[in-house]
Amino acid sequence: MALGTDYARQDCSLARALEVVGERWSMLIIRDAFYGVRRFNDFLVHLGIPRAVLTGRLRSLVAAGVLRKEPYQQSPPRQGYVLTEAGRELWLPVHALARWGGAHLTEGGPRMLFAHASCGTRLDPAGACPRCGAFVPPEDVTVREGPGADPALRRDPVSRALAGPHRLLTPIEPATE
């Protein structure tokens, strides 16, 4: 990790969190894991990230207890990456940050919309359902493209699956191998 030794002097839970998820790309890998991406090649194509960088980030996230390896195929044996329990608890900051970006930084509105699967209501910025009144765990959230999405920009199989609605943490089926 390249966060610098000065970083370690920060006596702060936020700094500790940033050591794990603040590295470039790490948060987007975690986002993809919420989307249901499991396979190395699907992360590679969807993120457009150099292979060596992806390998390093996945290894760091496994070492930090955010992701764990899990078989997705018996023959030949293949392992993918899924969020651990601690990793799933990153849903709240990931959603809050995406929501902020959608509100302040994207032209034409948010690019992805997150809704409560059971009632279809868009989540509020704190990840709760305004209709049901309760926090919605990620497995009960659906994602679909929002008004700011540019379908021409992303044509890879993961992006197509995410045009949605797609339920978070539901595996995205093989497309790139």
Q: Which is nearer to its own copies, 98 or 161 (CB)?
A: 98
CB of 62 to its own copies, least distance (A): 14
CB of 115 to its own copies, least distance (A): 15
Find the angle CA(131)-CA(132)-CA(134) to the nearest 5 degrees: 125
Q: Which is nearer to its own copies, 120 or 125 (CB)?
A: 125
Q: Which is nearer to its own copies, 79 or 169 (CB)?
A: 169
CB of 16 to its own copies, least distance (A): 4
Q: Which of 140, 59, 126, 128 is nearest to 97 (CA)?
A: 126
CA 101 to chain centre: 14
CB of 42 to its own copies, least distance (A): 15
Q: Which is nearer to its own copies, 30 or 39 (CB)?
A: 30
Q: Which of 162, 73, 155 is nearest to 111 (CA)?
A: 162
What is d(CA 1, CA 20) in angstroms, rounded to the nearest whole number?
9
Pull the structure tokens for residue 34.
């919420």
Q: What residues pair up with 68 in beta bridges, in sequence order?
A: 82
Which residues sit at the interface with its own copies, rule CB under 8 A? 3-4, 6-7, 9-22, 24, 27-28, 31, 47-49, 65, 86, 89-90, 92-94, 96-106, 110-112, 125-128, 135, 146, 148-150, 153-154, 159
Pull the structure tokens for residue 89.
């608890």
